[in-house]
Structure 1
Amino acid sequence: MSAIAKGLKRRGRLMAQAVSPPRKALDAVPSPRRAESQWPSDGYVAPLSPRLVRSPVFVLSSVRSGSTLLRVLLNSHSRVRAPHEMHLRTVHVRMSREFTADAMKELDLDREELEHVLWDRVLHLELSRSGKDVIVDKTPPNTLIWPRLHRCWPEARFVLLLRHPGAVIQSLASRRADPDHEAIRAEVLGYAEKLEEARQRLPDAHVMTYEDLTAEPERVTRGLCAYLGVEWESGMLDYGRQDHGTFRPQLGDWSSEIRSGRVQAARQADPTAELPPRLVEMAKAWRYPG
């Protein structure tokens, strides 16, 4: 098989996975993969190690909420690096011998802190390569583990990108072959619950909506730049002129809309669509019309 044929086959497989529902609705925190004997017997918790990146920025959002659009707008700024979805939560450290945990304890490290050090190094490496000084990770499932990100980086900044839950459900259903509507509603509810939790518990977070971003991109990005402590640049809105890497499944949106290089109007939620009562409550809390 030629290299081109292999590449096309792999792309087809990734696209099929991306439009299929996840194996678990909220598979953001994989179960532990190592035996209890690999943990220190005294329940040791390591202190926080110094961070190379002290104040990274995390975009918290549901899937299908415009986070890729926000990424490319930010990545078009001369000081902001916003790479593809990094999926740090899936990068793990394995202690392969019974004595490894004890050895790490002598270095003031445990498994979680080892993972945090590795995550921090990845962000620092990407930031250094870019030559910029602010890094943004917009992986949507980060929303489900935001307390751990806050524990890892106490000085992290958070951007909450909201979208009407009904529109998110419609978007997910339209992108999946043979959609399971009950599973989709449960998935969206899971994201919405964690977003609301973050909104309540992170008073310094910057809250914005996808609908506002697409309707008034200059005003909204100006406010976001002020939050990040950088000057607004008009070139952010012309993101098609910049190189944002490959748009492909599992690393963010890859639709024709995002490839257009232009901010396009958000698709509105169907006002006649029935939502679960909890999502109706959430939409009201986020000031969406009933």
Structure 2
Amino acid sequence: MTLLRKLNAALGSATGFQVRRVPRGHAGQRAGSAPARAPGRVPPRKPRAGAPAYRRPAASGADRLLRRPVFIIAPVRSGSTLLRMMLNGHSQLHAPHELHFRRLEVHFATGLAEKSLAALGLGRGDAEHLLWDRLLHRELVKSGKTFLVEKTPGNAFVHERIAACWPDARFVFLLRHPASIARSWHEADPVRRSPEHAVLDSLRFMNAVERARDHLTGHTVRYEELTEDPASALKGICAFLDVPWEPQLLDYGDHNSSEPVKGLGDWKEKIRSGSVQDGRPLPAPGDVPAPLHPICAAWGYPAGDATAGRRTA
């Protein structure tokens, strides 16, 4: 009888356990080699690169809980936090902080999970839309109001997908003088963004907003109008959204349950004051950086030697 058999005989009679040899390759595995996995366990798939295919809901009654959501399509530093705080004071409108829902993605850990959803007629893009809709609807239900307003600046980059996800969505385009946007974007983080970098980086958002305006139907409002005559600007938005005008929108600090959140929109002292502050003076046309001239022309702001007429639609 070998030593191992003698040991197992004694160990088995005393404890009911026996010693077994470790399978080759399990112990002392070479560094860098693939780890062993439990029998029958499929390793999770790596997320696939690229955005998934998407489409409008096949059955909106079953696939969507959120009805007629409102999306503020605006560049960074354009006053979107001010606008959402004011709209949140309305009895029918809930405008939370930036939700960044477009960054919520669905990935299949197994092929069976993907196959199961395919059998239901759903792809990865459909599953993501269901997730987005549930998140936003949950936020709206918690508020007890009727319509949700979302203002994340990055939404401009996926405006076509948002329109496909919610075919009944409504869009408000918020514009501001491009040079004022770039300057404010630099001042928000001067160490990270030089004035030149701020111009080019903020221009990405402005161009995305302009593409959205070309593709979607909506209502356009300007930051300068919002600060100079907020009552008229807000009355126009209320008329577009088919909700009654409510004067308390002008004193958003007194009728607001949504505090600014650092990193999810503007949270500085000016926005926390609870009242509309005067905007900064517009730059002289000759002071507008050259890369901003085309978008200034598209939005009706004078720049360089040219003065463009305002676009109002």
TM-score greater than 0.5 by the shorter chain: yes
* 2:197 matches 1:183: yes
Once the 2 structures are TM-superposed, how far is the Cα of residue 220 of structure 1 from its aligned partner?
A: 0.6
What is residue 196 of structure 1 aligned with on the other side? 210
What is residue 233 of structure 1 aligned with on the other side? 246
1:112-131 counterparts in 2 under 5 A? 112-131=125-144
What is residue 171 of structure 2 aligned with on the other side? 158
Once the 2 structures are TM-superposed, how far is the Cα of residue 276 of structure 1 from its aligned partner?
A: 2.8
d(CA) in 2 for partners of 1:182, 1:138: 26
**Conserved in 2, the CA contact under 8 Å of 1:80 and 1:135?**
yes
Once the 2 structures are TM-superposed, how far is the Cα of residue 269 of structure 1 from its aligned partner?
A: 3.6
Identical pairs, percent: 41
d(CA) in 1 for partners of 2:122, 2:197: 39
**Conserved in 1, the CA contact under 8 Å of 2:67 and 2:147?**
no
Matched letter for residue 69 of structure 2: P
Which of the residues 55, 58, 70 maps onto 1:48? 58
Asked which structure has the greater CA Rg, the reply is 2
The 3 A distance-change label for structure 1 pair 46 and 240 is closer
Once the 2 structures are TM-superposed, how far is the Cα of residue 139 of structure 1 from its aligned partner?
A: 0.7
**Conserved in 2, the CA contact under 8 Å of 1:84 and 1:245?**
yes
Which of the residues 263, 275, 284 maps onto 2:289? 275
Matched letter for residue 71 of structure 1: R
What is residue 20 of structure 1 aligned with on the other side? none
1:1-290 counterparts in 2 under 5 A? 34-35=47-48, 48-49=58-59, 50-178=63-191, 179-202=193-216, 204-271=217-284, 272-277=286-291, 279-290=292-303
d(CA) in 2 for partners of 1:120, 1:230: 22
Name the SS of the counterpart of 1:241 in structure 2: coil
Q: Which blocks of at least 5 consecutive residues in structure 2 are unaligned?
A: 1-45, 304-313
d(CA) in 2 for partners of 1:251, 1:124: 19
Once the 2 structures are TM-superposed, how far is the Cα of residue 98 of structure 1 from its aligned partner?
A: 1.8
Matched letter for residue 58 of structure 2: L
Matched letter for residue 188 of structure 2: R
d(CA) in 1 for partners of 2:87, 2:55: 36
Which consecutive segments of 4 or more residues in structure 1 shift more than 4 A?
43-47
> 1:67-87 CA distances to partner (integer Å, 9 max, x unpaired)?
000001100000100011111
**Conserved in 1, the CA contact under 8 Å of 2:227 and 2:276?**
yes
**Conserved in 2, the CA contact under 8 Å of 1:46 and 1:110?**
no
Question: Which one has more relative contact order, counting CA pairs under 8 Å at least 6 apart?
Answer: 1
Once the 2 structures are TM-superposed, how far is the Cα of residue 250 of structure 1 from its aligned partner?
A: 1.7
Matched letter for residue 65 of structure 2: L
Matched letter for residue 157 of structure 1: R
Matched letter for residue 216 of structure 1: D
Matched letter for residue 156 of structure 2: T
- The number of residues matched between the two structures is 252
What is residue 18 of structure 1 aligned with on the other side? none
d(CA) in 1 for partners of 2:136, 2:123: 20
Matched letter for residue 200 of structure 2: A
**Conserved in 2, the CA contact under 8 Å of 1:123 and 1:135?**
yes
After superposing the two structures, state which structure 1 stretch, 65-74 or 189-198, moved more: 189-198
Once the 2 structures are TM-superposed, how far is the Cα of residue 165 of structure 1 from its aligned partner?
A: 0.7
The 3 A distance-change label for structure 1 pair 51 and 44 is closer
**Conserved in 1, the CA contact under 8 Å of 2:57 and 2:165?**
no
d(CA) in 1 for partners of 2:235, 2:110: 51
